[in-house]
Amino acid sequence: MMRGVFVAGTDTGVGKTCISMGLMRALQASGYTVTGMKPVASGCRTAASGLVNEDALHLQACASLQVPYEDVNPYAFEPPVAPHLAAESAGVQIQVPRIEAAFRTLSALSDYVVVEGVGGWLVPVNAQQTMQDVALALGLPVVLVVAIRLGCLNHALLTVQAIRAAGLPLAGWVANRIDPECACQDENVAALCRRLPAPLLADQRYIPEAMAPEQQVGIIDVAPLLPG
């Protein structure tokens, strides 16, 4: 049985958190105990417990059970910049084994862990490694969130090429229509359906950011992610 899924995006700001929450709710509706994880986050704020990230807090709140924040988000940084730069400014080195340990903790508590990446597929996390290395270390199938906007075809196809070259399975993808002004949206989604070697799990309509995160995603088909 798959123990989780890695949610990647064609870029930053493409709706990975909302889609991750949608996946969590859909898996819960299928009878699974689910936790969420955002291994690395920049753009954090200071709380009584230390630095926290809003996306990670949403994933923590969406879980089937209460889990410690430090397992949901092992690495939190204040500057809203690329994670390796934020880590350097904090004098910290992001270590993949620490992320693996947090993932194992969450896996022991739940049937399924939804892991949200940061930025795009190859965003650096330290001097040598990228988010691809994190996904490889966890050994999870990938769900790709594609922002339907100008340039999405190239971004999606290049990202899928990298995922497959890394040897990880692409379990499915989500079309997220984040730009209401984008022309030929239906045609772009159709083009990707013909070209991407995985099922379309959801075609997400545009929803204003002012709505609460739990209201920003529709129904996601998780059947292709489940065993048997």
Order across the sheet with 112-116: list the strands. Answer: 34-37, 112-116, 4-9, 142-147, 170-176, 200-204
Instruction: Please tell me which residue in 7, 14, 35, 38 is annotated as part of the active site.
Output: 38
Angle at 63 (CA atoms; ends 59, 64), nearest 5 degrees = 175
User: Burial level of 184, CB count in 10 A (0-12/13-18/19+)?
Assistant: exposed
- Token match 């807090």: residue? 57
Token representation of residue 168 = 């990880």
CA nearest 122: which of 151, 83, 150? 83
Spatial contact of 65 and 110, defined as CB atoms under 8 Å apart: yes
Quick one: the chain helix, strand, coil %, rounded to 5? Answer: 40, 20, 40
Establish whether 38 is a catalytic residue.
yes
What is the spatial distance between Cα 65 and Cα 109, in angstroms, rounded to a whole number?
9
φ and ψ of 203, to 5 deg = -110, 95
Catalytic residues: 38
